Amino acid sequence: MSYPIELIRHSLAHVMAAAVQKLHPDVKFAGGPAIENGFYYDFDTDYRFSEEDFEKIEKEMRELIKSNGRFEQKIVDLDEAKKIFANQPYKMEWLNEYDAAGEKLSIYTFRDFTDLCRGPHVESSKDLPRDGFKIRSVAGAYWKGDSKNKMLQRIYVDAFESKEALDAFLKMQEEAAKRDHRKIGPALGLFFFDERSPGVPYYMPGGWIVYRELYNFWSEYHEKHGYFEFRSPLMNKKELYETSGHWDHYKDSMFVFKEDDNNVFALAPMSCPNSIVAYQHEPRSYHDLPWRMADADMLYRYENSGALNGLFRTYEFNQDDAHIFISEDMIEDEYNRIIDIIQYYYKLFDMKYFIKLSTRPDDFMGDIETWNKAETILKKILVNRFGNNGFGIKEKDGAFYGPKLDIQMVDSLGREWQTGTIQLDFQLPRNFNCVYIDKDGNKKTPILIHRTVYGSLGRFMGLMLEHLAGKLPVWLSPVHAVIIPISDRCKVYADSIAEKLQDVEIKTATAGLRIKKDYSSESMQKKIRNAQLKQIPYMIIVGDKELESQTISVRRRDGKQEFNVQLDDFIQNLKSKIKNRDLDI
C-alpha cells in the first residue's frame, strides 16, 4: 500500500524518536512534525547530539523499520494518559492543554515508544523506506518557540519515499549550497553583512549597481504603463496604523518608539497607509481612476534574529509597491494588466512561476460577505486566465484586509519562492473613508489593489543570484567587460579601446558602459581566471596580432572565444544586449 509522503515522514519521526529512546533511555520528548522535505523531532537530554551520532541513530532506525512494527492507536482518558507520560513533562503540558480544549486524547505506540499524537500513521514500519532518509543537522530550539522556555535539541531529517528520491534531493541541495547568495554575493563583491548591523546589508559599489539597475528598470517600465511614482514618510504616528488596522494585526513586527505617552511612532513596515493618505490629499473623481501609485520606499520590519537570512529576510528593505484605486467594475481588467506585467518580468529573468489564491485568515477584518465576494472575483479571474486547474489555493493565508494572489517563482533548481503578490482590498478604503465622485455625482468608496512584482528588491536580487548561479545578464553586471593586454607594448592600444568604450552613449544606471582594465602583473591566464570568478561577461584580449590588425579578441565568461572582432561590432552587440536586457551573453 502506498501512503502520502506527509504520512511517511510523520511515521519516520516516531521511528527516530524510538531509536533515540533506545540509545538514550532518559531522554524527554517534546514533539516532531512532518515538514517540507522531511521532519524533525525535539528532545530534552543532557547528552549533546552531534554529527557523530547521526549514523548511530540512522542505523537504529533501519533496524526498527526491519522489525515490521505496527503503529497502534489508542484513545485514552486524562488519568490513563498521565500515567503513561508521568516522566515526560512536555507531553504532560500538551495533555493539560488538549484536555482543556475538550480534545480527545490519542496515543500511538510503535515498538517500545509511545507518543501523544493525533495521527494518522502508516500501518506498519514495513511501509517505510529503509534508505529514504538522512539526518541533516541538529540545532537548538526553544520549547514552543518561546525564548523564555528551555532550549531543546532539534534533529532535522530529510525524508522521501525512496532512496532515488532522497539522492536527487541531496544532489539538488549540494548545488543549492554552491549557489547560496550569502556566499556568491560577497565573493562577487556585491554585498556583505556585519554583526554590528545585523539584518541590514552593506551594498558595495558593484552590488549597488545591480540594485539600481533593477530599480531603474522597474521605475521606467511602470511609468510607461500608467503608474506614477511618489515618496512617502518612513516614520508615522501609531494613529495611522490604528486606522489601517495594522496596529492590531502587525504591531509585533514593527519598530516602535515613544517620544512621550502621547506620541508613539513606528518605522513604516508597509507603504499602503501612506499611499491612502496621498490619495486623500485631493478630491478624486471617476475620471482619475484607475489611480496607480508606485513607490519603492525603505520599509522596516522586526524579525526574530533566528529568522534573518541573508538578503531573503532582513530588517530593512525596499519593496516595489504599487497601490491602485479603482471602481469595482475595473477589478478584472486591472488584475489582468498586473498579471501581464508579472509575465513580462519573469520571462525576462527566465523564471517560471505559478499563482496561488490565498483566502480569508482567522484574524480577518471586515464582514464575511465582502470577503466571499472578493474571493469569488479573484477565482473567476484565475479560471478565465489559467483554467480550473491552472492555479493553487492557500487556505487562510490572505492578508487581514483581503484575499490575494501570491506569485510563486520556481528557480532553476526547482525550488519554490514567494515573490510578488496582488491583494484585493475592500476594507482599508472604508477605514480611511476614501471616496471618489462617480459619473452621477455620487460619492463612492474605491477598491484598493496592493501589488508587488519583485517583492523586496534585495530579496529578488538574492533569488536571482541563486537562480543564475551568479551569472548576471550583461545589463545587470557591475562590469560589462574587462580589457586584458598581453604585454606592456599593447597598453596604449588597450587604453584607446577603453576610451572608445567609455564614450559610448547608452542609458545605464551608471554613465554608460562599465569597463575595467587589468594592467596588473599577474599572468594573462590568472587575469582571465579572475574575471571569470567575478562573472564578468566579456574579456577583451589585446596582443600583438590585435594591435597589428586593429581588432580585438573576445573571450566570454563561459570560455567561448572569438578572434579578429571589429571593436565597432563588439560595441553594437554589447549595446543590443543591454538595451534589450537579454539574459544570455
Catalytic residues: 272, 301, 319, 321, 323, 404, 450
Q: Determine the 3-state secondary structure of 83 from DSSP.
A: helix
- 181-215 core/surface letters (b: 16 or more CB in 10 A; e: else): bbebbeebebbebeeeeebebebbebbbbbbbbbb
Phi, psi (degrees; rounded to nearest 5) at 107: -125, 150
Residue 497 is which amino acid? I
Instruction: Locate 324 and state its grid cell.
Output: 491602485
- Within 8 A by CB and 6+ apart from 571, the residues are 500, 501, 504
Distance CA 345, CA 217 (A): 10
Collapsing DSSP to helix, strand or coil, 395 comes out as coil
Beta strand residue intervals within 313-403, DSSP E: 316-326, 352-358, 392-394
Residues 6+ apart with CB under 8 A from 47: 24, 27
Residue 387's CB is within 10 A of a number of other CB atoms, namely 9
User: Is residue 554 a contact partner of residue 574, using CB atoms and an 8 Å limit?
Assistant: no
Rounded CA-CA distance 428/140 in Å is 40
DSSP-assigned letter for residue 50:
-
> Which ranges of 451-564 would DSSP assign to H, the alpha helix?
457-467, 491-502, 524-533, 544-549
How many residues are given for the chain?
Answer: 585
Rounded to whole angstroms, how far apart are CA atoms 230 and 322?
10
Strand runs (DSSP E) across 89-194, as ranges?
Answer: 105-110, 113-116, 133-142, 151-159, 191-192
All three cell numbers of 111, joined, read 515498538
Residues 6+ apart with CB under 8 A from 242: 248
Query: Which H or E run contains 300?
Result: strand 298-300
The SS3 assignment for 57 reads helix
